[in-house]
Structure 1
């Protein structure tokens, strides 16, 4: 099954050999393609690179997938190397003069790799798995909803054209934003911890007061006062309780009303 994935925006990052690094594939799953659902994982990326490395010719970049149409299909460029970095597949490509002008003028901005997930070796007929058959310049990428990839492309292009002092300023701003985010997260965590400590302190205060009432060290009528004291200063309340002695139970005097009931009547 072949997919024209129209995957990635261009990244203009030249190397010493006048090659441009292009993002060709990322892991993910897509369900809206007219050929059906397709999925790319890290194993597929490795297989794409291995199959490219086994080729003896460069991989063509054409215009609007003309290579697949069987008509005249002039090349816009050639992918000469592939490598995997940060879980993504990149290609090093050289552009034709015409393609450079298109890209420079903003007339072409996106790439569309053609994925074949059931590729076979053209000589032996053996199954070789996933490969990229070609790549096209296009302005209608299928996966243009991948905002992160497009944002990365925009950031790289902006950074490349920045003066050095602006780059440093951008780095400082990014670090500040990261620092502010960390501070906000720490404040939220601290607030949560404070709430948990306050709830625990209140439970301990209530437990101490209830225990004092049960131990007869505190009358029921002083419960609210004791709760306020314990919640404010639990240790102080406990010290207070140490000096309180529960009242002793006293035996009622015996009733001697009938103490002489057995005496003879004449002795009364």
Structure 2
């Protein structure tokens, strides 16, 4: 595979044990038409990648590796945005008491055909400086595994005009190191962190970060559970009449007292209650049906009015019995149709009495009587 050359300088200190830092001059910030790019290449593919000053090798093998770099970067950032500064001042000036203004913010990271790209939102000052040609290049600041040069994550990026030798000179002047001692300390720190997380001593950076992320997610879930429990305990305190700051022992004692005061004889199991209620309903319905059928047999309810009578009896059996007490039985032939066609629209005296007892108008009774014949 062809080598990709970028200008890089390595720095000593880092919170990422077992890795080192590199800064690489990468891509011009203006496109071919002289317009400020809003999507810039931050890391190129290459296995290996060497800097022009010979530093390396660094590796960004393929799309899967690039996506792992993005995932690790986002996990470390934990919701904060990557930024672009001027001349890597956040690396070189801030440790000495200087400041590092943001030139832009990286809103998204994507894997493209030639490497990792970032979607940038420039500040107004940076956009003007780029358009005026005061700055030209984007220089990524990234971490890599010391044992094999495998790039692990992005730290940030910087606007720069520094050529290769300037970057190398800055590295040697500002970052005097005893690299062997630093590597040994990083290795010890990594082993200690891995051991605390229950991992093997030789766990990779990705494994350590994944374990830390998992621990943070579990901690967040536990915090939510504790908050829910605390809310529930507050409601219990109110229910048993305790103060808002009553402790667990006081709550337990109050609940025990409330439980002891409950008389079991005043309660029945829900299953027993449901079975009894069903029996009562079925018995009431059977009693209503029997009362209506008897009333029809006794001539106190016309057969055509059976449905009405049954509806009343089911709703209020006592009211139905009150109606029967006042009802006058009619003769067996009273409801027969012995009228001529001329008299079919009139009620007999007996029919009028029954209608009155049933609380029906003449038209309602005639309708019920004629429907019963059909």
Question: Is the pair's TM-score, using the shorter chain for normalization, greater than 0.5?
Answer: no
Instruction: Give TM-score, length-normalised by structure 1.
Output: 0.43
Q: TM-score, normalised by structure 2?
A: 0.32
The answer to which structure, 1 or 2, has the higher relative contact order (CA under 8 A, 6+ apart) is 1
Compare CA radii of gyration and give the structure with the larger one: 2
Q: Which has the higher helix share?
A: 2
